[in-house]
Amino acid sequence: MWKVGRRLPTLYGHPANPDHRLSRRRDAGKKKPGRPLIRGVPGRVTGSMNALEPSAVSVKPVAPRPPRRVVRMSTAPPDEMTLSPEAQVRLVAAIAASADRQAYAILFRHFAPRVKTFLMRSGLPALTAEELAQETLLSVWRKASYFDPGRAGVATWIFTIARNLRIDHLRQQRRRDVQEEDPSEEADAPPTGEAVLITAEREAIVRRALTQLSDEQATVVKLSYFGEKPHSEIASELGIPIGTVKSRIRLAMLRLRALVDDLR
């Protein structure tokens, strides 16, 4: 069953080791692969924050900790910690199963600041971006039981929530009414193990494909996800014709797709 999972890069943790919770990105290459940093009940992330106290973490931080001003409840700076996709899935499951607030706090610290950056780069002012990041994570809490790991990873799920909230927000600026629930949030049949595995693999492949794009192509892909600007503005900013912008986006997307197919 873990045959496929072993191909996941160490950066994203080791699905072969179900005990694995958290990995430190900078240490990814230094420690033994798959060595569990934190022990707990396999398959569940619940209970106390002790699991996150430094004493429970067996790897010393490489760099001095940056001054912490932002998040309080954390015992480690959030950007120093990388949550593996598998750990993320377990955190969402813990919220769904037992309204686990500690699990929520971990997810919040990891994702809220990233969602805020995403929304700011999408052209929203910082204050609105912060509100929508809060809103996104509140949706994670409310919709945790609807999360389907056979369909998307947690980061992808959160991306779609933030994306839809951004669209709704822009719409509500033109109209005050409340939006309908997204029908795609309806409960599905429980995911099969195979679907979960396929999803995890797809997401890992996409991540790898992104790292293999040239800088220019990566920029263009990012622009098409974040660029509030129409192609014409991008064109004048980069000093290239609009046709070139369009063909660059098309080429970058084609290359991304080809990479995804190759890696599959």
* Eight-class DSSP state of 182: P
Residue 164 C-beta: closest distance to another protein, Å: 7
Measured CA to CA, the distance from residue 63 to residue 17 in angstroms comes to 27
Residue 39 C-beta: closest distance to another protein, Å: 25
Residue 227's φ and ψ, nearest 5 degrees, are -65, 110
Measured CA to CA, the distance from residue 23 to residue 250 in angstroms comes to 36
Asked if 147 touches another protein (CB under 8 A), the answer is no
Asked if 6 touches another protein (CB under 8 A), the answer is no
Identify which of residues 38 and 119 has a Cβ nearer to another protein in the complex.
119
**By CB under 8 A, which span of 1-9, 54-62, 96-104, 189-197 interacts with another protein?**
96-104
- Interface pattern 40-69 for another protein (x via CB under 8 A): -----------------------------x
258 strand-pairing partners = none
Identify which of residues 228 and 237 has a Cβ nearer to another protein in the complex.
228
End-to-end Cα spacing for the chain: 17
What is the token pair recorded at 190?
């429980």
Question: Judged by CB under 8 A, which of 57, 87, 158, 235 binds another protein?
Answer: 158
Within positions 102 to 121, which residues make up the interface with another protein, using CB under 8 A? 104-105, 108-109, 111-118, 120-121
Residue 83 C-beta: closest distance to another protein, Å: 9
Measured CA to CA, the distance from residue 80 to residue 106 in angstroms comes to 13
Measured CA to CA, the distance from residue 123 to residue 169 in angstroms comes to 12
Q: Is 34 exposed, middle or buried (0-12, 13-18, 19+ CB in 10 A)?
A: middle
Measured CA to CA, the distance from residue 214 to residue 217 in angstroms comes to 5
**By CB under 8 A, which span of 34-42, 48-56, 170-178, 233-241 interacts with another protein?**
170-178
Residue 92 C-beta: closest distance to another protein, Å: 13
Asked if 148 touches another protein (CB under 8 A), the answer is no
